[in-house]
Amino acid sequence: MTDRIMNHKILGTIQPELVPFRWNGEIIHGAEGESLAAALLANGIRTLRRHEKDGKPRGIYCNIGHCSECRVTVNGERNQRACLTPVEKGMDVEQQTELPHLVKGDDAHV
């Protein structure tokens, strides 16, 4: 199954070059140079982040760098906007998760 629009009535046909990269340790494929946000969605992945405070899922929102909802960890660097980051072969991308509560301790949300 593909979620890519390979043929488009007006824009024509595309043949993206797929390259492997890692999402939470697992190898998946994206089109080289497309945004991470698009590549993950093409793999059926909508939850890009868990909210720092309550762990609720978050995904693509504005897709052009304004809202910062799509931030992920890329090659160890936190808070990279997935919509502004092009896919590179072999890159390591991880979802960010709920943070421990510094005052109430880890169990606060359980």
Partner 1 sequence: MFDTIIIGAGPAGLSAAGILQEKQKVLVLDEYFHAGGRLLGQLYEEKKGKWWNGLEIARKLVSDTQDKTEIRLSTSVYDVELDDTYTVHTTSGTFRSRHLIIATGSREKSNPLPEWDLPGVMTVGAAQVLTNFSRVRPGDKGVIVGINPLSMVIAMELGYADIDVAKICLPPENLLSTQKPEDAFETLVSLGHSAPSRFISTGAGLAGKAKPIHPAALKLFPKNGIRAMGLPISIKEKIIRINGTEKVESVTVQKTDSKGKPLNGKTREVKCDFVCISDGLAPLSEIGSLLNLKHVYAESLGGYVPLHSEMMETELPNLYVAGNVTGIENAKVAMYQGQLAAHKILGDEDAAMRSLSAITHERKNAKVKFHKDLLQGRETVETMWREIEKRKAE
**What is the C-alpha separation between 90 and 92, in angstroms, rounded?**
6
Q: Are 87 and 39 in contact (CB under 8 A)?
A: yes
**What is the C-alpha separation between 85 and 72, in angstroms, rounded?**
10
In the complex, what is the shortest distance from the CB of residue 76 to partner 1, in angstroms, rounded to a whole number? 17
Q: Which is nearer to partner 1, 16 or 94 (CB)?
A: 16
**What is the C-alpha separation between 84 and 60, in angstroms, rounded?**
11
Q: What is the x/- site pattern for partner 1, positions 30-69, by CB under 8 A?
A: ---xxx--xx-xx---xxx--x----xxxxxxxxxxx--x
Footprint of partner 1 (CB under 8 A): 3-6, 8-11, 14, 16, 33-35, 38-39, 41-42, 46-48, 51, 56-66, 69, 83-86
